[in-house]
Amino acid sequence: MALDSAGWDMPSASAAACRLAISTALPNQARSLITRHTPYSGRFLEVIAKPRKLAGPAHTPFLYFSPERTPSRPPNPRGDPMILYRTFRGRILAMLTACLASATLAHAAAADYPERPLRVVVPYPAGGNTDIIARDVMKGLSARLGQPIVIDNKPGANSIVGTDLVAKATPDGYTLGVVIGAYANNTALYRKLPYRPDDLVPVTQLTRTSLVIVSARPDLRSLDELIRAGRDGAAPLSFASSGMGSAAHLLGERLARETGMKGAMHVPYKGSTDATADLASGRVGFMFDAISAMGPLIRAGKLNALAVTSAERSPLLPEVPSIEELGHPDLVSYAWAGVLAPKGTPPAIVERLAGELATVLRDPALQARLADISTEAVGSTPAEFARFLEQESRINGDLIRQLNLTLD
């Protein structure tokens, strides 16, 4: 396997993993190992050594060795890098050989992928919006990959049950997970999770969905009227959600904080059905929910649509202003869905899946079906999805901690 200017001629994640594996195999005397290539010395390893005890100012000696030359030492090193070389040469070379073999196998596996059906875990019940989106998108992915894709619904514990199955699956590209906003929030909502966020790697963001702020009260027909009512601390203005820590709850809290609605009071329900019933009857003042869920009640005149949470108006509710045009760009927000894979999935497979899913999401027929539920196709790269997840976790995590919310 040839070397390039960035290290071994393999995906950067694989090269980084090799470096980490070799460096952590060494005791404290050797801090890290870097693989490089130079035109004058061919293939070589550079070991940055840090002896346990050094007299005088801190100094980091370097040790070089390559097939073309014997080890040499830099001028006036403190400590003896030759001792380090003789002591750890066998271990370094063994680890390097293992890494190169592993990388070669990973490349071969990615080239033949996929050779059997895939399993996609959806941590929500069948028939819900997340399940519908997953099935529609994965039907297109199956056609492109030439393999069946089995949708495995594993609801429970605010998506933790299904997500944990994906985190603990074999990282070979044959088990994937579909997640929504709860995934990004759970690290702040739960003190203990059966998995760590870095047990999963981002593949792509599939979709984003506009929400709508609705109220049944006849005196609340615009967002300005809602804000004015909420600023009256003497008369509490309740808002409903499907549960503590849900997207609707956090959006309600963000709206209250952004606009100074001191009278806003959260009323959590066990699901959207009961919340919607009390909203329509006027028992609670307002609620955030998906346009597809609230649309029939809006069109029937039972609910007033005050604003949509997207940056632009929704084609499904063209007469309803967006929250950005009403002067609240920081409150632009979407429900979303994305795909994750177990940590250790070969980068080439992750990139292949992201590319294929992006192609699926560009299909006009699929985009039209998504538009029927006020949902947009995204199809981001793994790096873009990683940045998006970090932003979601930071914004909502800060709010969750400020509210002292916990679900365990």
pLDDT tens digits, one per residue of 17-63: 555 455 445 454 443 333 333 333 333 343 333 333 334 444 333 33
- Which residue matches tokens 């108006």? 313
End-to-end alpha carbon distance in the chain: 49
**Residues 361 and 306 both lie in one domain:** no
Residue 274 domain-assigned?
A: yes
Q: Do 191 and 238 share a domain, yes or no?
A: no
Contacts (Cβ under 8 Å, ≥6 apart) of 154 = 121, 122, 123, 161, 162, 165
- Kindly state whether residues 67 and 126 are assigned to the same domain: no
Per DSSP, 321 falls in state P
Instruction: For residue 90, tell me if it sits in a domain.
Output: yes
Contacts for 238 with CB less than 8 Å, ≥ 6 apart:
264, 265, 266, 267, 283, 284, 285
Q: Both 200 and 341 in a single domain? A: yes
Residue pLDDT, tens place only, 225-281: 999 999 987 789 999 999 999 999 999 999 999 999 999 999 999 888 999 999 999
Residue 361 lies in a domain: yes
Domain assignment of residue 378, yes or no:
yes
Domain identity same for 257 and 309: yes
Q: How far apart are CA 136 and CA 174, in angstroms?
A: 18
What is 246-285 written as a DSSP string? SHHHHHHHHHHHHHT-TTEEEEE-SSHHHHHHHHHHTSSS
Q: Are strands 175-180 and 118-122 parallel, antiparallel or unpaired?
A: parallel
- Residue with structure tokens 């070397």? 3
Q: Domain containing 152 — which CATH number?
A: 3.40.190.150
Q: What is the mean pLDDT of the chain?
A: 82
Residue of 255, 247, 212, 214 lying closest to 335 (CA atoms): 247
Around Cβ 176, how many Cβ atoms within 10 Å? 26
Do 164 and 184 sit in the same domain of this protein?
yes
**Which two three-digit tokens encode residue 312?**
């632009």
Any bridge partners for residue 307, and if so which?
A: 213
357 and 326 belong to one structural domain? no
- The dihedral through the CA atoms of 202, 160, 294, 406 has a sign that is negative
Asked if residues 69 and 41 have their Cβ atoms less than 8 Å apart, the reply is: yes
- Both 363 and 321 in one domain: the answer is no
Let me know: does 216 contact 305? Beta carbons within 8 Å: no
Please tell me the predicted confidence (pLDDT) of residue 373: 85
Same domain, 345 and 202: yes
Amino acid at 71: P
> Is 408 inside any structural domain?
no
Q: Among 54, 78, 112, where does a domain finish? A: 112
Strand residues in 172-244 grouped as ranges (E) = 175-180, 200-209, 211-215, 237-241
Q: Which residues pair with 69 in a beta bridge?
A: 66
Domain containing residue 17: 3-112
Residues 314 and 371 in one domain: no
In a domain, 305, yes or no: yes
The verdict on residue 407 lying in a domain is: no
**How is residue 322 annotated by DSSP?**
B
218: buried, middle or exposed (CB in 10 Å: 19+, 13-18, 0-12)?
exposed
159 and 179 inside one domain: yes
Of 282, 313, 331, the residue that ends a domain is 331
pLDDT reported for residue 235: 81
- Domain harbouring 236, CATH code: 3.40.190.10
Number of domains the chain is built from: 3
DSSP β-ladder status, 118-122 and 149-153: parallel
- Does the residue 50 lie in any domain? yes
Residue that finishes a domain, picked among 112, 143, 177: 112
Q: What pLDDT was estimated at residue 60?
A: 37
Least trusted range by pLDDT, from 72-86, 108-122, 288-302:
72-86
pLDDT at 347: 97
User: Do residues 227 and 254 share a domain?
Assistant: yes
Section 82-111 average pLDDT: 59
